C-alpha cells in the first residue's frame, strides 16, 4: 500500500442531513455501484455505510449516515447516535440538503449540532434537477445565512451533475495520507449486510407508509446450491412487528412477497455476479424496534460506534 509522503491525499468524509435529501443516492453515485439502499421514504438508511473512491492521487472514504431526526423510539435514538458519532475524526462534513425543499426545523436541528465543530462543513445542495438554475444563488444564500459553510456546491446525485466538481473540491481539503483500502474495494460492508439491505429496499418500495419502520431483514444462510454449483442460495427472513403487517408483506396469494423476492434477486445477482435462488420468509417479532436485544440481533451494533 501507498504511504502518505508522496503527495497522495486521503481522508474520511461524512454525509449528513435530514432524511430523504439524497445522501445514499450520492454515495452510490460516487462509488458507481449500489451499496446503500435508497427510497422515497424518510429514514431509509439505518446504519452507517462506507464507500471508497480511489484515484491515482487520492482516496476518499465516504460515510453515509441515517437521516437525522429528533428520535421518537429506540431505533431513532440509535440512528441519531450513529450519525453524530461520525462527526468526530472526519476531514470533511457534507451537509446535504434538497434544493426543492425549504430550510426547515429538521435542517436546523442538524446544523445546530454542527455549530462549534472544527471540521470544514460543505453545503451540498442536491436535487438541482428539480429547480430552475436561476433560483440556486438565492437558495444557497438562505443556507449560508444559517451556517458558515466552507463551500456550497449544487449537485444532482440522481443525474450526476457537478458531482466531479464536488469531489475535486473535497480533495483540496484532505490531508496527505495513506491509501487505507485497496483501489478496487468500494465498501467496507460485508455482502451479507448489503443483501439484507437490498431485500429491505424492495419491501420498502412495495409496501405502504405503515410498514417501513417495522421491517428488518435477517439473512439466515448464503451458500452454493447443493445441486447446481453456479447458483447461490440465499435464505432470508423479513421481520415485522404485527400479524397484520405479515399479511401485507405477503400479499394476496403471496404475490407481494413474490415480487419483493424477484426484484431483490436481480439486485443480489448483480452484486454477487452469479445466479441466485432467493428463499424469503416472513416472521412476526412484536415491538422489535423498542427492544435493544432485538436491535442487536438484526445487526444494529451500538458497541461499534
Ligand X SMILES: Nc1nc2c(ncn2[C@@H]2O[C@H](COP(=O)(O)OP(=O)(O)OP(=O)(O)O)[C@@H](O)[C@H]2O)c(=O)[nH]1
For binding to ligand X (CB under 6 A), which residues are involved?
A: 19-25, 38-40, 42-45, 66-67, 126-127, 129-130, 156-158
Which does residue 25 bind out of ligand X, Mg ion, none, counting CB within 5 to 8 angstroms by kind? ligand X
Task: Determine the interface stretch with Mg ion among 18-26, 52-60, 262-270, 291-299 (rule: CB under 5 A).
Answer: 18-26
Specify the residue, 45 or 58, whose C-beta has the smaller distance to ligand X: 45
Specify the residue, 24 or 58, whose C-beta has the smaller distance to ligand X: 24
Specify the residue, 24 or 171, whose C-beta has the smaller distance to Mg ion: 24
Please identify which residue in the block is written with the cell numbers 453515509: 64
State the pairing for strand pair 151-154/58-64.
unpaired
Query: Smallest gap, in angstroms, from Cβ of residue 301 to Mg ion?
Result: 18
Phi, psi of 68 (to 5 degrees): -85, 130
Specify the residue, 281 or 305, whose C-beta has the smaller distance to Mg ion: 305
Would you list the DSSP string of 221-277? Answer: EEEE-SS-TTEEEEEEEEEESSHHHHHHHH-GGGHHHHHHHHHHHHHHHHHHTSEEE
Specify the residue, 16 or 282, whose C-beta has the smaller distance to ligand X: 16
> What H or E segment, with its residue span, contains residue 219?
strand 216-224
Is the CA virtual torsion 135, 141, 142, 143 positive or negative? Answer: positive
Please identify which residue in the block is written with the cell numbers 449516515: 65
Residue from 39, 32, 80 nearest 199 by CA: 39
Which does residue 154 bind out of ligand X, Mg ion, none, counting CB within 5 to 8 angstroms by kind? none
Task: Supply angle C-alpha 128, 197, 218, rounded to 5.
Answer: 160
Q: Pick from 45, 98, 126, 285 the residue near Mg ion by CB under 5 A.
A: 45
Measured from the Cβ of residue 42, the count of other Cβ atoms closer than 10 Å reads 15
- Describe the strand order of the beta sheet including 231-240 as a list of residue ranges: 216-224, 231-240, 275-284
Residue from 121, 170, 162, 165 nearest 143 by CA: 121
Query: Smallest gap, in angstroms, from Cβ of residue 119 to ligand X?
Result: 20
Q: Pick from 24, 126, 196, 285 the residue near Mg ion by CB under 5 A.
A: 24
Site size for Mg ion (CB under 5 A):
4
Query: Smallest gap, in angstroms, from Cβ of residue 79 to ligand X?
Result: 9
Per DSSP, helices labelled H in the chain are: 23-31, 74-85, 105-114, 136-144, 163-173, 191-206, 243-250, 255-272, 292-297
Query: Smallest gap, in angstroms, from Cβ of residue 64 to Mg ion?
Result: 6
Specify the residue, 9 or 34, whose C-beta has the smaller distance to Mg ion: 34
Specify the residue, 60 or 155, whose C-beta has the smaller distance to ligand X: 155
Which does residue 22 bind out of Mg ion, ligand X, none, counting CB within 5 to 8 angstroms by kind? ligand X
Query: Smallest gap, in angstroms, from Cβ of residue 100 to ligand X?
Result: 7
Query: Smallest gap, in angstroms, from Cβ of residue 116 to ligand X?
Result: 24
The footprint of Mg ion (CB under 5 A) covers: 23-24, 44-45
Amino acid at each position: 500500500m501507498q504511504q502518505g509522503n508522496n503527495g497522495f491525499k486521503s481522508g474520511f468524509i461524512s454525509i449528513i442531513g435530514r432524511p430523504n435529501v439524497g445522501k445514499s443516492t450520492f454515495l452510490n453515485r460516487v462509488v458507481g455501484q449500489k451499496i446503500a439502499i435508497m427510497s422515497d421514504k424518510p429514514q431509509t438508511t439505518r446504519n452507517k455505510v462506507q464507500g471508497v473512491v480511489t484515484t491515482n492521487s487520492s482516496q476518499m472514504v465516504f460515510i453515509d449516515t441515517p437521516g437525522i431526526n429528533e428520535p421518537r423510539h429506540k431505533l431513532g435514538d440509535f440512528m441519531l447516535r450513529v450519525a453524530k458519532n461520525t462527526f468526530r475524526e472526519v476531514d470533511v462534513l457534507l451537509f446535504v440538503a434538497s434544493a426543492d425543499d425549504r430550510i426547515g426545523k429538521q435542517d436546523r436541528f442538524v446544523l445546530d449540532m454542527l455549530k462549534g465543530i472544527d471540521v470544514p462543513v460543505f453545503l451540498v445542495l442536491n436535487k438541482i434537477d428539480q429547480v430552475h438554475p436561476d433560483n440556486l444563488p438565492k437558495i444557497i444564500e438562505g443556507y449560508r445565512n444559517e451556517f458558515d459553510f466552507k463551500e456550497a456546491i449544487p449537485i444532482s446525485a440522481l443525474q450526476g451533475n457537478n458531482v466531479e466538481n464536488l469531489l475535486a473540491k473535497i480533495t483540496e481539503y484532505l490531508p496527505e495520507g495513506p491509501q487505507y483500502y485497496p483501489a478496487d474495494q468500494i465498501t467496507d460492508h460485508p455482502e451479507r449486510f448489503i443483501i439484507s439491505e437490498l431485500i429491505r429496499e424492495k419491501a420498502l418500495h412495495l409496501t405502504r407508509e405503515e410498514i417501513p419502520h417495522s421491517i428488518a431483514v435477517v439473512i439466515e444462510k448464503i451458500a452454493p446450491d447443493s445441486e447446481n454449483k453456479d447458483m447461490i442460495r440465499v435464505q432470508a427472513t423479513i421481520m415485522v412487528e404485527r400479524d397484520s403487517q405479515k399479511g401485507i408483506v405477503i400479499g394476496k396469494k403471496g404475490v407481494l412477497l413474490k415480487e419483493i423476492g424477484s426484484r431483490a434477486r436481480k439486485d443480489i445477482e448483480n452484486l454477487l455476479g452469479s445466479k441466485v435462488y432467493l428463499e424469503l420468509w416472513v416472521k412476526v417479532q412484536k415491538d422489535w424496534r423498542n427492544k435493544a436485544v432485538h436491535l442487536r440481533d438484526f445487526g444494529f451494533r451500538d458497541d461499534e460506534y
